[in-house]
Amino acid sequence: MSDLKIAVVVASTRPGRVGDQLAHWVLGQATTHGGADYHLVDLAELGLSRLDESIPAAMGAYENDHTKQWAALVADFDGFIFVTPEYNRSIPGSLKNAIDFVYSEWNNKAAGIVSYGGVVSGARAAEHLRGILAELQVASVRQQVMFSTGADFENYTTLKSPGESHVAALQTLLSQLVSWSAALKATRAAQVG
């Protein structure tokens, strides 16, 4: 068992979504890759409401039990792989909402992005997500994995077997993420000590 914990986050909560298929593929590949303990975090299963905290998250004064539970879950991980669709040139509202609930629990951690979508395979959502993560002091690794809903899914609904280029890109992402997650875990430990 590794001392690193990395969450594979399913960002979409939409009925009929395909992100859960991608996240399970990522989780399987990650477990084989090693270097960390990987866990699936599905935003659809968390049932977070719309952001309902009256005090900004940066203050760390969470009032609601669901926020405190989400904060504890985020705090428990050293890194994240966000599996996100592109909706209207950005990330889904469910992901932005979940991110905005907490603040310090994200700080000095690493993230990788697996995106999917139409014409540009979620590239614009990934770029938007990188800006959000930077504001939260999350280092996003360079490697990204992108899937086309037209080319990589049968009838836009069923994930086809990912090709060698997807596998290779994910392996690179995982190597970068494990390295950065370990480095930032040491940084967090030094700040506490």
| Mean pLDDT for all residues in the chain | 96
CB 40 within 8 A of CB 26: no
DSSP state of 13: -
Question: What is the pTM (predicted TM-score) of this model?
Answer: 0.97
Burial 63-74 (b: 16+ CB within 10 A, else e): eeeebeebbeeb
Give the sign of the dihedral formed by CA 86, CA 151, CA 24, CA 31.
negative
CB 102 within 8 A of CB 132: no
Residue 115, pLDDT above cutoff 80: yes
* Mean pLDDT on 19-43: 98
Cα–Cα distances in angstroms (integers) from residue 101 to residues 123, 132, 145, 175, in the given order:
24, 13, 26, 29
* Mean pLDDT on 110-125: 97
CB 185 within 8 A of CB 14: no
pLDDT at 2: 74
pLDDT at 179: 98
| 60-87 tens-digit pLDDT | 999 999 999 999 999 999 999 999 999 9
Residue 134, pLDDT above cutoff 70: yes
CB 46 within 8 A of CB 191: no
As a residue count, the chain comes to 193
pLDDT at 192: 79
Q: Is residue 157 exposed (0-12), middle (13-18) or buried (19+ Cβ within 10 Å)?
A: exposed
| 88-112 tens-digit pLDDT | 999 999 999 999 999 999 999 999 9
pLDDT at 47: 86
pLDDT at 1: 55
Q: Provide the residue ranges of all domains of the chain, joining segments of one domain with +.
A: 5-192
Task: Identify the band that residue 193 occupies on the pLDDT scale cut at 50, 70 and 90.
Answer: low
CATH number of 5-192: 3.40.50.360
DSSP state of 90: B
Counting residues of the chain whose pLDDT is more than 90, the rounded percentage is: 96
Task: Identify the band that residue 117 occupies on the pLDDT scale cut at 50, 70 and 90.
Answer: very high
Q: How many CB atoms lie within 10 A of CB 158?
A: 10
